[in-house]
């Protein structure tokens, strides 16, 4: 038994049919395109991680208690944004 009740021979027959339909060069191109897409996705995920950490660090710096005027202005703005209860 192979994957989910499919034997190895059935998988080989399916593979042979796919190769006959598309040809090896087209399958090679599809595989290369898929590999490049996955690589690009991984690279973008790696770039997002440091960027999000930088944004959270800058937000923490903006909300620090040493900047009392900025925090007061932020609190005043938040009170104006809320509708009366």
Can you count the helices (H) and strands (E) in the chain? 3, 0
Q: Report pLDDT for 5.
A: 85
pLDDT in tens, the chain (85 residues): 556 788 999 999 999 999 999 898 898 999 999 999 999 999 999 887 655 555 555 556 665 555 545 555 555 555 555 555 5
pTM of this prediction? 0.41
What are the Cα distances from residue 38, in Å, to 7, 28, 48, 50?
A: 29, 15, 15, 20
Q: Report pLDDT for 12.
A: 93
Q: Report pLDDT for 47.
A: 84
């Amino acid at each position: 038994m192979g994957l989910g009740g499919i034997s190895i021979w059935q998988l080989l027959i399916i593979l042979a049919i796919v190769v006959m339909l598309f040809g090896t060069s087209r399958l090679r191109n599809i595989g290369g395109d898929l590999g490049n897409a996955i690589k690009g996705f991984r690279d973008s995920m790696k770039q997002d991680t440091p960027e999000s950490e930088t944004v959270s660090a800058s937000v923490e710096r903006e909300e620090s208690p040493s900047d009392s005027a900025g925090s007061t202005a932020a609190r005043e703005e938040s009170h104006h944004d809320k509708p009366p209860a």
